[in-house]
Structure 1
Amino acid sequence: MAAPQADPPEASAPSTTSRSGVKSAVRTVELLEFLAARQDRPTSIREICEALGMPRSSAHALLRTLMAQGWVRADGSGTLYGIGIRALLVGTSYLDSDPYLPMITPFLDELRHDLDETFHLGRLDDGDVVYLATRESRQYQRVTNRVGRRLPAHATALGKALLADRFGAERDAHLPDVLRSVTPKTLTDRAGLQESLENALVRGYATDDEENTVGTRCFAVALRYTRPAQDAISASVPIARLTPAREREIVEALCAVGDKVTRVLRPVANGDKWFSA
């Protein structure tokens, strides 16, 4: 009699997911992240299957389940899919439960009041920066970055300020093998990026020159109430009205507020496990 064979699904499970965990849970998260990244561009089941390497039958069943729970929505034809309202509720609860956000946003209000530029608060998440708060300048209406938007850390002043606060393997862990271009001016050369990060470390602030938004220069400082820093604040200024004197004024204000936030929050954050991973 032939020896009993190992259970095929269980034996092959580790090679069918890119990360450890229950396969269906990983697929669910990957699908939701894919839809969320598309923002206001709904997608078809064919695009979902191609992007995630998912069988059509599995994608269809997963979409049907998530739609019933409000995590995914479909257009009138039922052929295009986008992120659902339930995701908004969960995302809002993250902001509501964050212990530091309410203490940092008044400083953004202060910066916007004094300088009337657009200011952001961002947090490092793997290789990306996620925008947690934005205060828009009253001088123009266009919203450059919205709360919840995710951008590659290497392409933003926020991300560079946070990457510069890390060294060696700890920094490399937040950088992909291939640096994706967001605009024609994004640094995609690793040596060039490392030089930019070293300059940021020496200066005490990071910059991006139209590297994530054409026509805009950004300045950012890390908030070192945790070490390494997890959060940073930035100013986004249209290049057309940026002078050397204005640049110095903005950088000095950012550095002063960054120091102030660090002094206020460091005693509160001491020993906190909020960012432990």
Structure 2
Amino acid sequence: MELDDMPKQHRSTARVLDVLEYLATEGQKGCTLSELSAALNAPKSSLFPILHTLADRKYVYLDKGTGRYSIGIGTYALGRAFTAGRDALELILKAMEAIVRSCEETCQLAVLDKEKVLYIGKVDSPQAIRLVSSVGARLPANCTALGKALLSGLKDEEILLLFKDRLCRMTDRSITDIQHLLAQIRAIRKGGIAWEHEESTDHVCCYAVPLRKGGKVFAAVSVSFLTFRSTPEKERLVRESLVKAQAEIEQIAEERGFVLKY
């Protein structure tokens, strides 16, 4: 089935998911109905019954003192149900912890969600000055090393159809030329390491590798660090740590037959 032939999203269901995904990125601080309305470009009259129902079912928490909504305990229960009996994420996180011990920089795990990267795991750097990021956040795939690594699992024709020649720009260094992006992705398919220097965030650079099972990319892992700590030695250490973790994770994936279902 071609991407253009996929059925359209159910509007009401999509609105509920938009609310949950946005609140997930806001963390414990949450947001008010007005702030959520502005962020989602949706009328408060349509968001209020959704929030009321989600709060009643414990998927959203309403602080009556501040009027701010945040993610509720119900979502935690769903997350636990997803991970119950599954060791894939736990094993990958252990490999990510080893990367952080080696290079002392933030390590992130992501999957591809259409033309965006969905962050599903993170191990923070012990450095006092470090990258701030959130599990559950989404960024344009063309602007991130993780995105390029994930896109390497698609054919050129699929990538062209995904972006329709419209690439997002997050900084002045973001790749907005589709042929430039494809050239980098072709190198990754041949065993190269994905990279970006200040393409998604100023003063931050990143390297990433795809994770494959049966020849298919199911996730990607990256290391991000601030440019003032970028030296030839640091970059070499980061690349070596990623390649080592890639081999370990892919071997476990083949032996145990796991993939990250999302």
Q: TM-score, normalised by structure 1?
A: 0.76
Equivalent residue in structure 2 for 1:184, among 131, 148, 172: 172
Larger radius of gyration: 1
**CA offset at residue 207 of structure 1?**
0.2
Equivalent positions of 1:194-209 (< 5 A) are 194-202=182-190, 204-209=192-197
Q: Which amino acid aligns with 1:213?
A: T
Query: In the alignment, residue 32 of structure 1 is paired with which amino acid?
Result: L
Q: Which position in structure 1 is the counterpart of 2:103? A: 115
Unpaired runs of at least 5, structure 1: 1-17
| Aligned equivalents of 2:174, 2:30: Cα separation in 1 | 23
Q: Structure 1 residues 115, 59: closer, same or farther in 2, change over 3 A?
A: closer
Residue 49 of structure 2 aligns to a residue whose secondary structure is helix
CA RMSD of aligned residues (A): 3.1
In the other structure, the counterpart of 1:229 is 217
1:1-277 alignment runs, 5 A limit = 19-21=8-10, 24-39=12-27, 40=29, 42-45=31-34, 48=37, 51=40, 53=42, 56-76=44-64, 81-96=69-84, 98-172=86-160, 174-175=162-163, 178-202=166-190, 204-269=192-257, 275=261
2:207, 2:239 within 8 Å by CA — same for their partners in 1? yes
SS at 1:107 equivalent? helix
| Aligned residue type for 2:142 | H
Contact 2:130 2:225 in 1 (8 A): no
* Alpha carbons 1:154, 1:175 under 8 Å: kept: no
**Which one is further off, 31-40 or 244-253?**
31-40
- Give how far 1:231 is off: 1.0
Q: Tell whether the 8 Å contact from 1:218 to 1:237 is kept in structure 2 after alignment.
A: yes
Q: Distance in 2 between matches of 1:37 and 1:139?
A: 23
Contact 1:128–1:151 (CA<8 Å) still a contact in 2? yes
SS of alignment partner, residue 250 of structure 1 = helix
The residue that corresponds to 2:4 in the other structure is none
Native 8 Å contact 2:209 2:243 kept in 1? yes
How many Å apart are 1:225 and its aligned residue? Answer: 2.1
Larger mean CA deviation between 261-270 and 227-236 belongs to 261-270
Return the letter of the residue paired with 1:247. E
Could you tell me which residue of structure 1 aligns to residue 3 of structure 2? none
Unmatched segments (≥5 aa) in structure 2? 1-6
1:224 aligned counterpart, secondary structure: strand
- State whether residues 19 and 26 of structure 1, in contact with CA within 8 Å, keep that contact through their aligned partners in structure 2: no
Q: Taking every aligned residue pair, what percent have the same amino acid on both sides?
A: 28
Distance apart, 1:229 and its partner CA: 0.7
Deviation at 1:221, TM superposition (A): 0.7
- 2-structure distance, mates of 1:207, 1:168: 19
Structure ranking higher on relative contact order (CA contacts 8 Å, 6+ apart): 2
Give 1:240 deviation, angstroms: 0.9
Find the aligned partners of 1:38 and 1:118 in 2 and give their Cα distance: 20
- Matched positions, count: 255
CA distance in structure 2 between the aligned counterparts of 1:88 and 1:28, rounded to whole angstroms: 17
Say which is worse superposed, 229-238 or 66-75, in terms of deviation. 66-75
Code of the residue aligned with 2:33 in structure 1: it is S
Superposed CA offset, 1:139-176 (max 9, x none): 32545223333222222111111112221343345546
- Confirm or deny: 8 A CA contact 1:163 1:197 kept in the other structure: yes
